[in-house]
Chains A and B, each alone.
Chain A
Amino acid sequence: MVNRIGATPLLALDGIRKSFGATHALRGVSLNVQAGEIHALIGVNGAGKSTLMHILAGAETADAGTVLINGTPFRAANPLEARRAGIAMIYQELSLAGHLSVAENIVLGCEPARCGLLKAKTVAARANEALALMGHSDIDIHAPVHLQGIAQRQVIEIARALSSGCRILVLDEPTSSLSVNDIRKLFDLLKKLQTAGIAIIYISHVLEEIKTISGGYTVLRDGQVAGSGATEKVSTDELITMMSGKSAELLFPHGQRRPGEVLLHCKNVSGHPLPRNVSLELRRGEILGLAGVVGAGRTELMRILMGLDKPAAGTITVAGQHGWKPAGKRLSQGMGLLSEDRKNEGLALKLTLADNMTMSRLSRCGRYGTVQPRRQYNAAVQLIGRLDIRTTGPAQKVQALSGGNQQKVAIGRLLFHDCDILLLDEPTRGVDVHSKQQIYRLIDALATGKNDGKPRAVLLAGSYLPELLGMCDRIAVMHRGKLGQAKPAEQWTEHELLRATAGAQSTVTKTRDNDETTEESS
């Protein structure tokens, strides 16, 4: 069963390419994993890790390149085929049927039965066997899955993968919501699986973990392999250098900024459970960067500031008014949020550009509670010109636009609302290079106030570090819900930022977050 190193790799990806429209997510990526190897896949957000794994799992199809399993070409058309070929993905959002028992989840889809009648004893035996193999006999196999903790669920999902004959196991950020104790248990488990000859691909942002657990590594950057080899022969710093590299394509406009009065002030703000004890100060005429990996708590902080979620503790002061206020009040105070989730949250996709851009302040389009479509239309025409949106006109539905143009519509709403305080969450996610450049220029113009002589305050959250370094006046790093000290952008290097966002040098902190994180590849 155990395939010795040196023989054909159990999994070989070769020259994988994938584009989404104008964005090249993968540009010829190769990756080899031996049976019984734990292979780390590393890269910043948007480097292409998720896309690569989606291709392996059959959720996406590659434009070019080959996948070999044990030397045989393989192309999964859907997740089920990949599973049948022995590839199992364990995503951050675990995929279990919560109403079924632990044992039933483990045998789901391949239940032992005679004439359609479940063999209860065989089900129990197989579930016990799978759990015992993993050293988790403590889990009650008859209890429903929704009563299990997150660490147990992860174990159950791995058990299901094993009992369905999986040979290649992909773990996507498996420790992001585990406590230290559970992380240790998970690592013990992975080592057991390793000796059983399973090939494991381990995706993580936490470099310390990678050094502990993995035998080989592959670093992805901008859709290409930036380095690979044996983990013991590489230092954390070298890994960070490979991850960051240089990105010369984009120019970051940085006009003359004159920070003025404090518009937004928050002290010791905590959420449920993120963020933790965050304090910050945002002035008119500056861009404050909020760096952090997906799931660090940036979005949660912004939602609290905007009044979408209530904080568990802390004080917030906006434009001299104290206390947490709901979103309607925040909007009238001149605060606006650009959501990271454009499609579900940021835009009403089935409505027109004109409706979307005027939605937050319809009072500008009519009097006494009326809305004049003509005024909406005119406002939209003006914004379309200013933002250079490629559209057939204000009456077009937003869902027909490309990602970059949709994002411009979302920004257009903030402009129409005439916001003073802009909370921008991943403003260039899923946006093509050309539109990115335009969005950067626009953000800079808002902060300097060069178009209308009125500088705005901008809080810019992102995981793409060159963007933050290029655009911001000050940057603070968020890691597992905690916000570090904001320092002038010149005092940061990309290397240091990456180190801080990955939580390097700090030991793994004991946390039990419930991150709802999805990484988008662009």
Chain B
Amino acid sequence: MNKPYFNFRLMLKNSALGPFLGLIGIYLLFAFIAPASFRSSANLQTMARQSVIVGMAAIGMTLVIISGGIDLSVGSTIALTTVIIAALLQNRQWHPAAAALGGVLAGGLTGFITGTLITRLRMAPFIVTLGMMLIIRGAAKGLAGEQKIDAPMSALNNLLATRPGWSWPAGVWMLLGLALLMSLVLRYTVFGRHVVAVGSNPETARLCGIRVALVRVGVYTLCGIFTGMAGLMQFSRLTVGDPTVAMGRELDVIAAVVIGGGSLTGGEGSIFGSLAGAMIMTVISSGCRQIGMANWIQEIVTGGIIILAVGLDRLRHRK
């Protein structure tokens, strides 16, 4: 009857340890072959900063992928959020915090609409979010009048900046905090377990009285909110609202989740694994740049890593 609550063997098997080992391995590889500047703490910080946008969106995408869905509208939602934040700051003179909240909630709203369409119309998430990708991108362009919206400098622009007293930028801390929060939600709340159940076996979930549609809408709404957070980080970096930013960024986000152990058939995925996945891609691009590798080699290496990561994952599961 008395079973240990922590089973080390199982933790190894199910944790995001694989992607972290991969991350460390790739970091050490570049630390060895790249110039000393790569090993500097400043560069480490730069890489963390660069991973924040993809990492934020990857938290939401991990939830969606665990629940058996996909969201292709992430890049467009990031652009829409930057536009909305800039517009609220510039045209309405909102307080920066209120403008940021407005932008993030707008992201949540797009997610809610996506989830509702998928569950009400019983359509494939791939199709609905493909459509939403174009709709949201169009809406962002329309809202911005097809040009960048300048915004006054505000505290929001410091989210990714290194400030005295804070060894790391606030955005990085927010990313880690939210990732920890969502990991706990996924593991220790009824909603979190229902997300996994829906992705693992939707029929069983329905049979057990889980309101599958509600769970799905919740997951897409959360994904929208985290994408809005990614948009906030993007705005912080750009300092303007740009409706054409983050084109194709959704693919980086999906790649991060998949490298981190997410399965596109649902039921599997880890939020910290996805963060490791995002970091792996940043380390590769940073490392390649510093040893003077051409851009095209970086792309081939990143593509290879995606396939390798999933291949290793399959091997691990065959046992």
Residues of B within 8 A of A83 (CB): 207-209
Q: Which of A100, A110, A128, A160 has the most chain B CB within a 10 Å cutoff?
A: A100
What 1/0 flags go to A7-39 for Cβ under 8 Å of B? 000000000000000000000000000000000
Residues of A within 8 A of B208 (CB): 83, 108-110, 160, 164
Residue on A nearest B208 in the bound complex, by CB: A109
CA distance A212 to B192 in the complex (A): 44
Q: Which residues, 208 to 252 on B, are CB-close (under 8 Å) to A?
A: 208-210
For chain A, the count of residues having a C-beta within 8 Å of the partner chain is 31
Q: Is residue A196 contacting chain B, with contact meaning CB distance below 8 A? A: no
Q: Which residues, 120 to 157 on A, are CB-close (under 8 Å) to B?
A: 120, 124, 128, 132, 137, 140-144
Residues of B within 8 A of A111 (CB): 190, 193
What 1/0 flags go to B121-154 for Cβ under 8 Å of A? 0000000000000000000000000000000000
Is the pair A140, B209 in contact by a Cβ cutoff of 8 Å? Answer: no
Q: Is residue A371 contacting chain B, with contact meaning CB distance below 8 A? A: no
Q: Is residue A117 contacting chain B, with contact meaning CB distance below 8 A? A: yes
Is the pair A113, B190 in contact by a Cβ cutoff of 8 Å? Answer: yes
Is the pair A144, B14 in contact by a Cβ cutoff of 8 Å? Answer: yes
Is the pair B10, A108 in contact by a Cβ cutoff of 8 Å? Answer: no
Known contacts A142-B3, A142-B10, A143-B10, A116 near B204 by CB under 8 Å = no
Q: Is residue B203 contacting chain A, with contact meaning CB distance below 8 A? A: yes
Is the pair B10, A99 in contact by a Cβ cutoff of 8 Å? Answer: no
Q: Is residue B206 contacting chain A, with contact meaning CB distance below 8 A? A: yes
Q: Is residue A79 contacting chain B, with contact meaning CB distance below 8 A? A: yes
Q: Pick out which of these stretches binds chain A: B91-99, B171-179, B194-202.
A: B194-202
Is the pair B200, A118 in contact by a Cβ cutoff of 8 Å? Answer: no
Is the pair A108, B1 in contact by a Cβ cutoff of 8 Å? Answer: no
Known contacts A108-B205, A120-B188, A142-B7, A99 near B267 by CB under 8 Å = yes
Known contacts A83-B209, A99-B267, A100-B197, A128 near B1 by CB under 8 Å = yes
Known contacts A116-B191, A128-B1, A132-B1, A98 near B201 by CB under 8 Å = yes
Residues of A within 8 A of B200 (CB): 97-100
Majority-rule SS of B interface residues: helix
Residue on A nearest B3 in the bound complex, by CB: A140
Residues of A within 8 A of B189 (CB): 113, 116-118
Majority-rule SS of A interface residues: loop
Known contacts A95-B204, A100-B200, A108-B205, A118 near B193 by CB under 8 Å = yes
Is the pair A100, B193 in contact by a Cβ cutoff of 8 Å? Answer: yes
- The contact of B196 among A100, A117, A128, A141, by CB within 8 Å, is A100
Residues of A within 8 A of B199 (CB): 99
- The contact of B205 among A97, A116, A144, by CB within 8 Å, is A97
Is the pair A118, B188 in contact by a Cβ cutoff of 8 Å? Answer: yes
Q: Which of B206, B208, B209, B210 has the most chain A CB within a 10 Å cutoff?
A: B208
Is the pair A108, B5 in contact by a Cβ cutoff of 8 Å? Answer: no
Residues of B within 8 A of A113 (CB): 189-190
Is the pair B203, A108 in contact by a Cβ cutoff of 8 Å? Answer: no
CA distance A95 to B14 in the complex (A): 22
Q: Which residues, 81 to 140 on B, are CB-close (under 8 Å) to A?
A: none
Known contacts A79-B207, A116-B189, A117-B189, A95 near B201 by CB under 8 Å = yes
Q: Is residue B268 contacting chain A, with contact meaning CB distance below 8 A? A: yes
Q: How far is the CB of A203 from chain B (nearest CB, A)?
A: 19
Q: How far is the CB of A140 from chain B (nearest CB, A)?
A: 6
Is the pair A97, B196 in contact by a Cβ cutoff of 8 Å? Answer: yes
Q: Which residues, 54 to 107 on A, are CB-close (under 8 Å) to B?
A: 79-80, 83-84, 95-100, 104
Is the pair A95, B203 in contact by a Cβ cutoff of 8 Å? Answer: yes
CA distance A451 to B18 in the complex (A): 66
CA distance A83 to B205 in the complex (A): 13
Residue on B nearest A120 in the bound complex, by CB: B188
CA distance A141 to B197 in the complex (A): 16
CA distance A144 to B201 in the complex (A): 14
Q: How far is the CB of B211 from chain A (nearest CB, A)?
A: 10
Residues of A within 8 A of B5 (CB): 120, 124, 142
Residues of B within 8 A of A140 (CB): 3, 7
Is the pair A98, B3 in contact by a Cβ cutoff of 8 Å? Answer: no
Q: How far is the CB of A94 from chain B (nearest CB, A)?
A: 9
**Closest 4 A/B residue pairs (Cβ):** A109-B208, A99-B267, A97-B200, A109-B209
Contacts A108-B204, A110-B208, A113-B189 known; list 6 others, CB within 8 Å.
A100-B197, A109-B210, A111-B193, A116-B191, A117-B189, A120-B5
Taking beta carbons and an 8 Å cutoff, which residues of B are in contact with A?
1, 3, 5, 7, 10, 14, 188-193, 196-197, 199-201, 203-210, 267-268
Q: 28 A-B residue contacts at CB 8 Å? A: A79-B206, A83-B208, A84-B209, A95-B203, A95-B204, A96-B201, A97-B205, A97-B267, A98-B200, A98-B267, A99-B196, A99-B199, A99-B268, A100-B193, A100-B196, A108-B208, A109-B209, A110-B209, A116-B190, A117-B188, A117-B189, A118-B189, A118-B190, A120-B5, A128-B3, A132-B1, A142-B7, A143-B10
